[in-house]
């Protein structure tokens, strides 16, 4: 019995020594001791704690380290969820928990800038820092050895303030509408917001005007729309575009961009727009309340949203001018063919080479894998890839959308891919529904994209064009040579689109 007890005691000591040795090894690696100063908060705070480190000097607004989508591996990121973080009480964060591009303890030695964000509303994957978040000031550390540096202290001293609302000039108005159908879906009031831009002379007459429904791309919010709205007002004031009413729709949502799609995850946004919000607007403004006076336009995710609305509500809208839309044929979803059976891998081509997502000029610079994995560390929702899941995917048993692909391996879930194609692949939907929607859709689709689109979106556009041409849809596709996702509108594209819309609404008017 004594020998047995001795063996057990020896085993306990051995295991304890292993545990001590392992803890000693971990404690030697870099980890962070994070504290909230009372200047940032006097009450316990919760959220996603994000720590960023880079060898490049911070260049973001407010002296911020900003993750790069054109060179993502230049910024290392570690994150973890924290709950009821007490002011003045430090917590430890180990970089091997959730990190990109790898645990920071494996980074090379060198000089680094380090900064932390407490993302209290979990929207860092959509916009890195928003009002209410806590931030630390970037700290420059010379000669950092991540494999053996031990503790690095970080203190949150600042809280991001709430900025004043953007004041609109005369002729522009905010509209805030509570949707009955979306509120019923979510069980709380859901607001549909927009900026309405009125044409010159609107207040002095009683005539009605064509209406353009515009929406933005990924990452924008209502304040961005308020700045953008002035462009249309100035163009109308100077006579460069015809007088029309512009309704600049906010499609941002905590899950990303809802893209005005009817979704089992986000709710019936298309239904709410067409049966609730537009009738509300037409009862308050002198709008052409007919299809030949309602037009759609949007860029990027907004381009996909306007394509979707035109295809699904062809009797309501008189045409869409969609620029650089998100993938409209899922046989090329920014590269991977997710509509094949079985679907392709989201990260790797059949030959094993990576799918590249971002290109600058004629050079591919960022893989889809790097883009998606960086986003996953910033947050589990709100990012571009997770936004697609929230719009397109069926709901999982846990109540969240099923992911199209595994973020580690890139393996595509065939069940989810089939659901995406059946419900949201625009090329597939038009082909399947053409006998019903064709007469109302013919001649109403106008798509413009650059041949050097930053996200390869011209490739999917070509596939959609092939389908529409085969159906005799009388669709217009314009590929602007050498233009990217971000310089497409140079050279007067806004004016051309407005003139084409006005020609549909007022065919007898002089150019």
Q: Is residue 373 part of a domain?
A: yes
Q: Is residue 68 part of a domain?
A: yes
63 contact partners, CB below 8 Å, separation of at least 6? 137, 138
Burial (Cβ within 10 Å: 0-12, 13-18, ≥19) of residue 477: middle
Task: Write down the mean pLDDT value for the chain.
Answer: 92
Residues 207 and 324 reside in one and the same domain:
yes
- What pLDDT is stored for residue 93 in this prediction? 85
Q: Is 381 helix (H, G, I), strand (E, B) or coil?
A: coil
Q: Is residue 6 part of a domain?
A: no
Above pLDDT 90, what percent of the chain? Answer: 87
Give the DSSP letter string of 273-316: IIIIIHHHHHHHS-B--SGGGEEEEEETHHHHHHHHHHHH-TTT
Q: Please count the other Cβ atoms lying within 10 Å of the Cβ belonging to residue 154.
A: 18
Name the band, by pLDDT with cuts 50, 70 and 90, for residue 28.
Answer: low
Q: Please check the confidence at residue 411 and state whether its pLDDT lies above 70.
A: yes
pLDDT digits (tens, 9 = 90+) for 175-205: 999 999 999 999 999 999 999 999 999 999 8
d(CA 249, CA 81): 33
Q: Please check the confidence at residue 510 and state whether its pLDDT lies above 60.
A: yes
- What pLDDT is stored for residue 3 in this prediction? 37
Distances (CA, A) of 298 to 84, 449, 491: 41, 12, 17
pLDDT digits (tens, 9 = 90+) for 68-95: 889 999 999 999 999 999 999 999 888 7
Residues 34 and 112 reside in one and the same domain:
yes
Residues 404 and 429 reside in one and the same domain:
no
For residue 272, give its domain range: 172-329+425-505
pLDDT digits (tens, 9 = 90+) for 102-149: 998 899 999 999 999 999 999 999 999 999 999 999 999 999 999 888
d(CA 302, CA 305): 5
Burial (Cβ within 10 Å: 0-12, 13-18, ≥19) of residue 42: exposed
The enclosing H or E element of 196 equals strand 191-197
Residues 381 and 296 reside in one and the same domain:
no
Q: Please count the other Cβ atoms lying within 10 Å of the Cβ belonging to residue 192.
A: 21
Q: Please check the confidence at residue 47 and state whether its pLDDT lies above 70.
A: yes
Residues 188 and 278 reside in one and the same domain:
yes
Residue closest to 335 by CA, chosen among 355, 363, 359, 353 = 355
Residues 413 and 432 reside in one and the same domain:
no
Residues 415 and 435 reside in one and the same domain:
no
- What pLDDT is stored for residue 92 in this prediction? 87
Q: Report cis status (omega within 30 of 0) of the bond before 342.
A: yes
pLDDT digits (tens, 9 = 90+) for 211-269: 999 999 999 999 999 999 999 999 999 999 999 999 999 999 999 999 999 999 999 99
Q: Please check the confidence at residue 499 and state whether its pLDDT lies above 90.
A: yes
Q: Is residue 491 part of a domain?
A: yes
What's the whole-number mean pLDDT along residues 417-427?
Answer: 98
pTM of the model: 0.92
- What pLDDT is stored for residue 23 in this prediction? 39
Q: Is residue 218 part of a domain?
A: yes
Instruction: Look at the chain and report how many structural domains it folds into.
Output: 3
- What pLDDT is stored for residue 30 in this prediction? 85
- What pLDDT is stored for residue 6 in this prediction? 35
The CATH number linked to 458 is: 3.40.50.1820
Residues 318 and 459 reside in one and the same domain:
yes
Q: Look up residue 123 and give its DSSP letter.
A: -
Sign of CA dihedral 292, 294, 299, 302: negative
Residue closest to 325 by CA, chosen among 467, 182, 472, 465 = 465
Q: Please check the confidence at residue 19 and state whether its pLDDT lies above 60.
A: no
Q: Please check the confidence at residue 8 and state whether its pLDDT lies above 80.
A: no
- What pLDDT is stored for residue 21 in this prediction? 31
Name the band, by pLDDT with cuts 50, 70 and 90, for residue 98.
Answer: confident
Residues 270 and 199 reside in one and the same domain:
yes
Above pLDDT 70, what percent of the chain? Answer: 94
Q: Which residues of 201-215 are buried (b: 16+ CB within 10 A; e: fewer)?
A: ebeeeeeebbbbbbb
- What pLDDT is stored for residue 59 in this prediction? 80
Out of 138-152, 358-372, 488-502, which region has the weakest mean confidence (pLDDT)? 138-152
d(CA 429, CA 70): 33
Residues 323 and 199 reside in one and the same domain:
yes
- What pLDDT is stored for residue 29 in this prediction? 80
Name the band, by pLDDT with cuts 50, 70 and 90, for residue 20.
Answer: very low
* Last residue of one domain, picked from the residues 131, 159, 187: 159
What's the whole-number mean pLDDT along residues 7-32?
Answer: 44
* Last residue of one domain, picked from the residues 159, 180, 196: 159
Q: Please count the other Cβ atoms lying within 10 Å of the Cβ belonging to residue 313.
A: 22
Q: Is residue 472 part of a domain?
A: yes
d(CA 493, CA 499): 10
Angle CA 467–470–476, to nearest 5 = 70
- What pLDDT is stored for residue 4 in this prediction? 36
Q: Is residue 65 part of a domain?
A: yes
Name the band, by pLDDT with cuts 50, 70 and 90, for residue 511.
Answer: low
Q: Please check the confidence at residue 15 and state whether its pLDDT lies above 70.
A: no
Checking DSSP bridges between strand 139-144 and strand 262-263, what pairing results, if any?
unpaired
pLDDT digits (tens, 9 = 90+) for 431-468: 999 999 999 999 999 999 999 999 999 999 999 999 99
Residue closest to 123 by CA, chosen among 384, 320, 323, 439 = 384
Residue of higher predicted confidence among 40 and 9: 40
Q: Is residue 215 part of a domain?
A: yes
d(CA 135, CA 154): 10
Residues 199 and 254 reside in one and the same domain:
yes
End-to-end CA distance of the chain: 104
Residues 409 and 260 reside in one and the same domain:
no
* Last residue of one domain, picked from the residues 421, 448, 465: 421
- What pLDDT is stored for residue 182 in this prediction? 98
């Amino acid at each position: 019995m004594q020998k047995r007890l001795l063996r057990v005691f020896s085993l306990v000591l051995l295991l304890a020594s292993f545990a001590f040795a392992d803890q000693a090894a971990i404690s030697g690696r870099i980890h962070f001791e994070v504290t909230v100063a009372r200047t940032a908060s006097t009450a316990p705070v919760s959220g996603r704690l994000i720590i960023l480190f880079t060898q490049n000097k911070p260049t973001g607004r407010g002296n911020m380290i900003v993750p790069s989508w054109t060179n993502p591996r230049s910024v290392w990121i570690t994150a973890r969820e924290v709950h009821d973080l007490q002011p003045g009480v430090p917590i430890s964060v180990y970089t091997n928990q959730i990190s990109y591009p790898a645990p920071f303890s494996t980074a090379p030695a060198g000089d680094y800038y380090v900064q932390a964000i407490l993302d209290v509303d979990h929207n860092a994957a959509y916009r890195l820092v928003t009002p209410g978040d806590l931030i630390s000031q970037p700290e420059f550390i010379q000669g950092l050895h991540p494999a053996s540096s031990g503790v690095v202290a970080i203190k949150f001293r600042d809280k991001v303030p709430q900025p004043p609302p953007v004041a609109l000039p005369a002729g522009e108005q905010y509209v805030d509408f509570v949707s009955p159908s979306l509120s019923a879906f979510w069980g709380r009031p859901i607001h549909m917001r927009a900026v309405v831009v009125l044409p010159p002379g609107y207040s002095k007459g009683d005539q009605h005007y064509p209406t353009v429904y515009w929406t933005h791309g990924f990452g924008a919010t209502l304040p961005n729309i308020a700045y953008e709205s002035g462009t249309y007002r100035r163009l109308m004031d100077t006579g460069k575009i015809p007088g029309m009413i512009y309704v600049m729709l906010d499609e941002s949502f905590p899950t990303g961009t809802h893209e005005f799609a009817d979704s089992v995850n986000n709710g019936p946004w298309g239904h709410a727009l067409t049966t609730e919000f537009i009738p509300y607007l037409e009862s308050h403004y002198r709008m052409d309340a007919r299809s030949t006076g309602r037009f759609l336009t949007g860029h990027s995710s907004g381009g996909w949203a306007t394509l979707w609305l035109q295809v699904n509500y062809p009797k309501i809208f008189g045409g869409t001018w969609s620029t650089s839309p998100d993938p409209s044929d899922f046989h090329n979803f920014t590269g991977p063919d997710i509509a094949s059976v079985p679907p392709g891998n989201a990260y790797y081509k059949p030959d094993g080479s990576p799918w590249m997502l971002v290109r600058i000029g004629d050079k591919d610079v960022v893989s889809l894998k790097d883009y998606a994995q960086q986003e996953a560390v910033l947050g589990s929702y709100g990012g571009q890839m997770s936004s697609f899941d929230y719009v397109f995917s069926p709901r999982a048993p846990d109540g969240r959308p099923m992911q199209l692909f595994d973020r580690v391996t890139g393996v595509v879930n065939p069940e989810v891919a089939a659901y995406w194609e059946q419900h949201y692949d625009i090329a597939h939907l038009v082909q399947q529904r053409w006998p019903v929607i064709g007469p109302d859709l013919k001649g109403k689709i106008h798509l413009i994209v650059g041949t050097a689109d930053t996200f390869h979106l011209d490739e999917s556009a070509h596939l959609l064009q092939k389908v529409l041409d085969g159906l005799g849809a009388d669709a217009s596709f314009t590929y602007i040579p050498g233009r990217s996702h971000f310089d497409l509108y140079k050279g007067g594209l806004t004016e051309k689109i407005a003139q084409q819309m006005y020609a549909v609404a007022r065919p007898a008017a002089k150019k």
